[in-house]
Structure 1
Amino acid sequence: MLDNKELFRRLYQIRRFETVLLEQFKSGIFPGTTHTSLGQEANAVGVLAHLEPGDVVVSNHRCHGHFLAYGGDPQALFAELMGKPSGVCGGVGGSQHLHWRNFYSSGVQGGTVAMAAGMALAEKRTQSGAIVVDFMGDGTLGEGIVYECLNMISLWQLPVLLVLEHNQIAQTTPSSLAIAGSVPKRFEAFEIPTTALDSSDILDIYPLAETLIEQVRNESAPRALMITTARLGSHSKGDDTRAPGVLESLWQSRDPIAIQAKRLAGAEHNQVIQDIDAKIQQAFEAALAAEGGAG
C-alpha cells in the first residue's frame, strides 16, 4: 500500500514532466505533436500501481503519464520525443508509439482495444496468470473496432481491465454532442461487469483499481472501469476551445495534484516538489545533450 507521499510523488512526476514538455515544445526541440494528460494523472497512478511484472499495459495517444506510472524513465521518454537514439524506442516511436518491457502505446484510436484483446488471449492460452490493462478515451467510442473487440473479450472471457478515461471532450467536441445513451451500458451490453467512478482523487481511484485488478486476475475474466475525469490541458498543445471560466473551474475542482497535496505537511510537500523538479530537469538536460535528434 503506497502512502500519501509516494502517491503524490508519482502524480507530480507526471505533471512536472509534461509541464516541462509543453514549456520546451515551442523551442523546436520536439518534432511532431504531443498530447498531455494534465488532470488525468490519478488514473494512471491509481491503476498501474497494482500491476505485477508480467502484466501488460496498452495505452493510447495520451500515453506519457501511463508510461511514467508504469515505471518508465523520464530521460528516455524525453529523448524519444526528441527523436534521439537514446530514446525509449530509439527515437522512431515519438510521442504516441512507445514500447518498453510490457508497455505498448498506439495513436490509432480504437486499435488499442484490439491489441489488448489479442495480448490477453495470448496470456490466457499460455496460462501465464498475467492480465492486460487497456486505457482508452471516450472519443474512442465512435470506433467500430471497439465493439467487435468487446464482443471477443466477453465471449472468450479474457483477462482485461478496460479503463475508460471519460474526460468528456474529444479533441474540441463535448462528449454530450457525440455519445448517445449511457457509456457504462455499452460495456454491460457485452456482459462485461462495469464500475463507474466520478473522481479525480487518487484515494478514490487507487483502492477501487486494486479490487478490479484482483477480480480480473483471480477470475481470468474482464472488467471495465469508467473514470469520469477532467482534461485540464488542450487536446494537443494550443487547440483548446473551452471558455476560460470552464477551465478555471476545472483547475479549481478537479486537479489531482492539488487534491493530493493537501494531505501532505508543508515541509514534506516542498521536499517532493524540489526532488521531482530536479529529477525532471536533469532528465531533460541529459536527453538534450545526448547525440542525435530529428532536428
Structure 2
Amino acid sequence: MESVTAPTTRGRAYELADEDLRILLLIRHFERTLLELFEQGELNGTTHTCLGQEYVPVALRPLLRPRDFVFSNHRGHGHYLARYEDPHGLLAEIMGREGAVCNGVGGSQHILRDRYLSTGVQGQSLPVATGVALGLKKTDPGALACVYIGDGTWGEGAVYEALNMAQLWNAPLLVVVEHNGIAQSTPTAAQMAGTIGGRARAFGVRHHRVATSDIGRIRDELAPLLRDVRDQCRPLVVEFLTNRVGPHSKGDDSRPPEVIRLAREQDWYRRYGEEFPERMAAFDAEARELVGRVAREVAARPPSVWEDR
C-alpha cells in the first residue's frame, strides 16, 4: 500500500495564535470524545472523524466570510466547529438530544445552518456549490462558495461536470481537497490515474497544492488566491496534502501499522506540542475539560423532538 500523503514538517512553524490553538484542540477533543462515546455504546449510526485534518478548516477560518457558503462532507465536524464553535449543538445533533442543530434529524453527516450545508453523499455538493457560486456572482459580489471534498470524490462524474461549468461561467468557487491518501480502504494510487492538479488543469481551473500543516504559512499562500476567486470570479482548486490519523469511520482502519504510525508522526498535534509545549499543554487540558463537560451536559438532555412545520 502506498504511504500516506504527508504535509511537510520541515522548518519551525509560524507563531501560532492562541485562538487558532484553542479551536484546533476543541476539534481534536470533540472527535476523540465521539469515538469514546461509540465505544461506550452511547451513539448510534456512524461518524467519520477528521483527526489529523483539523488544521485545514482552522487555517481557512479567517479567509472565509459570513457571506460565503460552505459545503461540507461526511468528515465535516471540524468544518462546522471552525465556522461556528458550537460543540453543544453539534454533539446534540449527533446524539439526537434537545438543542440539536437540525433537531436530531441530520445526525453526524447532514447539517444545515445558515449558509452551511454538509452531506454524506460523495460529490453531491460540488454541482450545488457551483450553482450557488453563480447566484452569488449576481446577487452578492465578493462572496464565494467553498466546498470540501476528499481525494476519493474525484471518482464521481459530478466533480467534472461542476468544474466544467464553473470555469466556463466564471463562478467564484473554492474547491478544498483534503487529500489524505486513502478513500475509505483504497489507497489513492490504486483508484486515481494522474493527479488532482492535472485533472483541474484539464478544465482550465487553477490548482494550488498545500504541502504544510503550518497555519500561518497556509494563510499566506491562500489569501491572495482567495481574493482572486472573489474579485475575478475564477474557480480554484486547493489541494491539501494531509493525514487521516483516526479510522475511516468509528473503528474501521485497514491501513498497515507502518502507515498509521507515519501519519501519527506527521500529525500537527505532535508538531505543535514539540514547538509550543507550555501553551499546548495548557490549551490541551482546557479543551479536554470543555469537551468532557459538553458531553456530560448533552447526554443529560431529553431526546430531540422534530416537528414538521
TM over 0.5: yes
Give the Cα–Cα distance (whole angstroms) in 1 for the partners of residues 258 and 100 of structure 2. Answer: 38
Does the 8 A contact of 2:100 with 2:304 survive in 1?
no
Regions of 4+ moved over 4 Å:
none
Give the Cα–Cα distance (whole angstroms) in 2 for the partners of residues 280 and 211 of structure 1. Answer: 35
How far the C-alpha of 1:283 sits from its partner, in A, is 1.4
Does the 8 A contact of 2:247 with 2:253 survive in 1?
yes
TM-score (norm 2): 0.90
- 2:42 paired residue number: 29
Q: Which moved more, 1:49-58 or 1:89-98?
A: 49-58
- 1:147 paired residue number: 160
How far the C-alpha of 1:111 sits from its partner, in A, is 0.5
TM-score (norm 1): 0.94
- Write the deviation string for residues 129-181 of structure 1: whole angstroms up to 9, x where unpaired: 21111110010000011101111111111111111111110000000000001
Q: Do residues 280 (structure 1) and 291 (structure 2) align?
A: yes
Q: Report the 3-state secondary structure (helix = DSSP H, G, I; strand = E; otherwise coil) of the residue aligned with 1:49.
A: helix
Q: How many residues align?
A: 292
Q: Which moved more, 1:30-39 or 1:121-130?
A: 121-130
From the superposition, tell whether residues 50 and 176 of structure 1 become closer, same or farther in structure 2 (CA, over 3 Å).
same
- 2:144 paired residue number: 131
- 1:101 paired residue number: 114
Q: Where do residues 75-86 of structure 1 align in structure 2 (5 Å cutoff)?
A: 75-86=88-99
Give the % identical residues: 40
Q: Where do residues 3-42 of structure 1 align in structure 2 (5 Å cutoff)?
A: 3-42=16-55
Query: Which 5+ residue runs of structure 1 have no aligned equivalent?
Result: none
Q: Do residues 271 (structure 1) and 282 (structure 2) align?
A: yes
- 1:247 paired residue number: 260
Q: Do residues 186 (structure 1) and 199 (structure 2) align?
A: yes
- 2:220 paired residue number: 207
Give the Cα–Cα distance (whole angstroms) in 2 for the partners of residues 164 and 102 of structure 1. Answer: 20
How far the C-alpha of 1:275 sits from its partner, in A, is 1.8
How far the C-alpha of 1:214 sits from its partner, in A, is 1.6
The Cα RMSD (Å) is: 1.8
Give the Cα–Cα distance (whole angstroms) in 2 for the partners of residues 276 and 165 of structure 1. Answer: 24
How far the C-alpha of 1:7 sits from its partner, in A, is 1.9
- 2:175 paired residue number: 162
Give the Cα–Cα distance (whole angstroms) in 1 for the partners of residues 304 and 42 of structure 2. Answer: 9
Q: Do residues 261 (structure 1) and 242 (structure 2) align?
A: no
